[in-house]
Structure 1
Amino acid sequence: MAAVSTSDPVMYGAPCWVSLVALDIAAAERFYAAVLGWEFRGGPPGEEFSVARLRGAPVASIGALGRRGIPVAWTPYFAVPDADAAANRILERCATVAVGPLSLGAGRAVIAADRDGAVFGVWEGEVTPGWTVGRDAALARLELRTRDAFDAAIFYAEVLDWAKDETACCQVAYENDSVVLRQGGDQVARLRGGALEEAPDPHVRPRWDVHFRVADLDEAVATATRLGGMAVTAVDTGPTGPSVTLRDPDGGLFTVTAGSGPM
């Protein structure tokens, strides 16, 4: 997690960062630089992470796995006013707190899994200025693939204060057979049902999927394949534009989406 001081107000419950835990930071940097056009800047001395930038703006971070046995994966973080309170809410709702609350730089983080096993993080503290999801952002959207979208929406609403009647909270709506999270009117996440908890393929198990924009979808897929990754889906020509889910060389799943502009 990388946080930078900003005077902008924090919208609690909104996505505020995405991070990859990798087996080899340098190898992951080379792969994502080639596929997504990112440049990297190392973290403070003694801290094993680097920050990815696109056209000078921070977009994500890559950190080293703390111990073996943890899968390589992308994790979204959501802003909260109190990490301890969020952790308690997670536990009270029969979900899992895996790490934290842990002090990191200018804030505190929790890594958790919801009741169906999808991993996510919460972040208390300063957020990265200019980091957004959706319009003209490197991160096109977040999508939760889960067993029951309505049950998941209730869980996250209770943990993250979604849909509260306050201006600093995200709003939730039901659209096109999915639950949609909006931040200031913009769609930032979608919750879709149908994932299988015991599926052997991690692509169809409950998880948060990160969708990154690319200028040329075919080129991104070809580059990922050449560098040891692989496409795990065919091209999805859904309403948000063509996309392909990829697996990086260490098994981390992410989706590339063509084009720019609103989702």
Structure 2
Amino acid sequence: MTNPNHIHLPKGKKVYFASDNHLGAPTNDASKPREKKFVAWLDDIKHDAAAIFLIGDLFDFWFEYKTVVPKGFTRTLGKLAEISDSGIPIHYFVGNHDLWMNGYFEEELGIPVYYKPKEFTLHNKTFFIGHGDGLGPKDKGYKRMKKVFTNPLFKWLFKWVHPDIGVKIGQYMSVKNKMISGDDDAKFLGEENEWLAIYSKRKLEEKHRDFFVFGHRHLPLEIQLNEKSKYINLGDWIQYYTYGVFDGKSFELKKY
């Protein structure tokens, strides 16, 4: 049986990474040009993609009721379905804005969803991948909030709010509340203070990984952790329009 966590790259194929689109922010109409740009990128990379990793906060707010998902994002969801149906695996990591998923991506799009960082082997290189929220020595305010948002009682209560009201509340909180957004410190802190880099160094004490790939910080970053390991933050699709590409040997941040 093929291990889905081991991805082989045929000659000429690549693995692509993107995060932090925040579609729907500040409004669906305002984010539509960014959505069209992202869909164009997906269309461009599908010809040589061996796999695609979407590393959280694709949406600025997402909550799945039993029979209802937020309105909009048709172009993105349709393109993801097309690519997934073509046989190109897509892996999705939830972020702090879209952590309330409940089977829609798996059942409708055939895309596995991960709620914690996960390790993959890509063409004999080890990757530790996650959105990045709540990791490392900082992000304390969000860590407290996440305990509330992921509490089964909170989710059960919220799902009884009518979607027209619940989605509006969620969208308002996502745009206005910096504690939820997690992007109020989106500036470079210096290598010694970048908390996801610190977290990555601690993980290296357990075992070697070649690459640590995260989102959440909204900054395109590459930090050499030691001679053989590197931390990468993918940036975002709001200001930078950056993405990662791995060709089997090297990882590169590019701008679309």
Relative to its length, the structure with more strand (as a share) is 1
TM-score, scaled to structure 1: 0.31
TM-score, scaled to structure 2: 0.32
Q: More relative contact order in 1 or in 2 (CA 8 Å, sep 6+)?
A: 2
Relative to its length, the structure with more helix (as a share) is 2
